């Protein structure tokens, strides 16, 4: 089944809770940076066929896309698309995914641990910038992921707009931002 770029979805797993990314081979902790993708044409090479979940070039214009990258070389480790959802008074996670090399379910192993949590923290950060005190919501791709977000993030099941809609409140967002560290670039 093709992923629905227009309606979004969140299909990332939160593995080990680490402030920065952790190299699974060496255990080395890697510092990260976050930057906004200003040129949509840059996203052309990040698509469903090569393991990036969706065709990122097709993300709606009202969704801001951010990359999580290694500080040492700007190598992208994940993307998150976040929309300022004024009606819900929260940041809406339109889509989020790790780089294929960090997707254990796709590749059988992963290079870096901690990408998923960082992506949620970026959404919480944007929520604060937009005046929503960290509140975020999104649509999990399935029940298993929804339950995972409830268990790991303390998310709340909403189900109003989508059968797997979740909400992360200000307290849970604060915890994310206290746990994950990155620099805005």
83-121 confidence digits (pLDDT tens):
999 999 999 999 999 999 998 877 778 999 999 999 999
Q: What is the separation, in whole angstroms, between the first and last Cα of the chain?
A: 35
Cα–Cα–Cα angle for 37, 118, 100, nearest 5°? 70
Q: Is 53 a member of any domain?
A: yes
Any domain includes 148: no
Which residues, in sequence order, are CB contacts of 98 under 8 Å at separation 6+?
12, 77, 78, 110, 115, 116, 119
At residue 174 the predicted structure's pLDDT band, cuts being 50, 70 and 90, is: very high
Asked whether residue 94 is domain-assigned, the answer is: yes
Judge whether 140 and 78 are in contact, CB under 8 Å: no
Residue 32, in any domain of the structure: yes
DSSP string, 164-175: TEEEE-HHHHHH
Number of domains the chain is built from: 1
Q: What is the mean pLDDT of the chain?
A: 93
Phi-psi region of 119 (alpha: psi -120 to 50; beta: other; left: phi over 0): alpha
Residue 5 has pLDDT above 60, yes or no: no
pLDDT higher than threshold 70 for residue 134 = yes
Q: Any idea what DSSP says for residue 19? A: S
The pLDDT score that the predictor gives to residue 2 is: 44
Ranges 4-8, 28-32, 91-95: which has the least confidence:
4-8
Domain with residue 112: its CATH number is 3.40.630.30
Domain residues for the domain of 24 are 20-132
Instruction: Determine the pLDDT at residue 1.
Output: 36
User: What percent of the chain is predicted at pLDDT more than 90?
Assistant: 84
- pLDDT band for 7, please (50, 70, 90 cuts): low
Across 48-59, average pLDDT: 94
| Residue 18, Cβ density class (10 Å: 0-12 exposed, 13-18 middle, ≥19 buried) | middle
**Domain membership flag for residue 62:** yes
Q: Is the pLDDT of residue 139 over 50?
A: yes
* Cβ atoms of 112 and 72 closer than 8 Å: no
Domain annotation covers residue 82: yes
For residue 110, being part of any structural domain is answered with yes
* 116: CB partners within 8 A, 6+ apart: 12, 13, 14, 15, 78, 96, 98
> Percent of the chain having pLDDT more than 70?
96
Asked if residue 3 has pLDDT above 60, the reply is no
- Asked whether residue 153 is assigned to any structural domain, the reply reads no
Q: Are 28 and 18 contacting, i.e. CB atoms less than 8 angstroms apart?
A: no
User: Is the pLDDT confidence value at 162 over 50?
Assistant: yes
């Amino acid at each position: 089944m093709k992923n629905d770029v227009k309606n979004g979805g969140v299909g990332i797993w939160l593995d080990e809770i680490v402030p920065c990314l952790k190299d699974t081979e060496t255990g080395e902790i890697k510092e990260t940076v976050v930057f906004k993708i200003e040129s949509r044409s840059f996203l052309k090479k990040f698509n469903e066929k090569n393991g990036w979940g969706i065709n990122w070039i097709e993300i709606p214009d009202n969704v801001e896309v951010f990359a999580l990258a290694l500080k040492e070389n700007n190598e992208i480790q994940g993307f998150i698309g976040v929309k300022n959802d004024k009606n819900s008074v929260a940041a809406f996670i339109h889509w989020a995914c790790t780089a294929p090399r960090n997707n254990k379910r796709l590749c059988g192993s992963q290079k870096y641990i901690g990408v998923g949590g960082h992506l949620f923290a970026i959404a919480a950060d944007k929520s604060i910038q937009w005046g929503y005190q960290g509140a975020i919501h999104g649509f999990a791709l399935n029940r298993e992921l929804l339950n995972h977000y409830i268990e790991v993030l303390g998310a709340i099941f909403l189900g109003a707009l989508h059968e797997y809609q979740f909400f992360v409140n200000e307290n849970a967002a604060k915890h994310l931002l206290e746990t994950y560290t990155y620099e805005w670039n």
